[in-house]
Amino acid sequence: MSKFSVEIKWGVLFVLMMLVWMVMERLAGLHDVNIDQHAVYTNFVAIPAIAMYVFALLEKRGKSFGGYMTYKQGFISGVIITLVVTLFSPLTQYLTSEVISPEYFANAINYSVENGKMTQEEAEAFFNLKSYLIQVVIGTPVMGLVTTLIVAFFVKKQPPPDHSV
């Protein structure tokens, strides 16, 4: 397990970052009074999310691979981080929906219906815990893998030709 301690640490830190982000969204009113702006501003979570993968792979490169890392090593490390985040994603979504912002679904339904974006039935089918749990269990590994594919490319570092490993 210590072989993957960096990935586990960063996976847990990622989960905590997501919970803090949800609290910040709620405090900014994006789950109620400013819900009309939620769809835009929620995407900015990509910035700290990508940064966390970069920091994680840089730490892994330094601690486990002597400052050098192949693309494959970075990819495997990112996949493990994604696995950790995915395993926690139902809990993260539950805490967000039931503790941090329990009024979000009702507000999102009302906003969507009042602004003609969805019918009442469509909004109720989309904005609920079950729907969001399904979305997070599918979306988390997809986004994590895409992020991993890209970040591993930029973080890889080959040793110089005369470097003996």
Over residues 73-117, the pLDDT tens digits come to 999 999 999 999 999 999 999 999 999 999 999 999 999 999 999
Query: What is the Cα–Cα distance from 91 to 74, expressed in whole angstroms?
Result: 27
Number of H helices, E strands in the chain: 7, 0
Give the chain's mean pLDDT: 96
- Tell whether 47 is covered by a domain: yes
**46 compared with 164, residue with greater pLDDT:** 46
- Tell whether 46 is covered by a domain: yes
How many domains does the chain contain in total? Answer: 1
Query: What is the Cα–Cα distance from 11 to 67, expressed in whole angstroms?
Result: 21
Q: What is the mean pLDDT of residues 16-42?
A: 98
**Contact in structure between 156 and 113 (CB atoms under 8 Å):** no
Residue 163: per-residue pLDDT: 62
**114 compared with 160, residue with greater pLDDT:** 114
Q: Environment class of residue 43 by beta-carbon count within 10 Å: exposed (0-12), middle (13-18) or buried (19+)?
A: exposed
- Tell whether 165 is covered by a domain: no
- Tell whether 12 is covered by a domain: yes
Residue 159: per-residue pLDDT: 86
Q: Which domain holds residue 90?
A: 2-155
Residue written as token pair 């609290």: 23
Q: Which amino acid, residue 47?
A: I
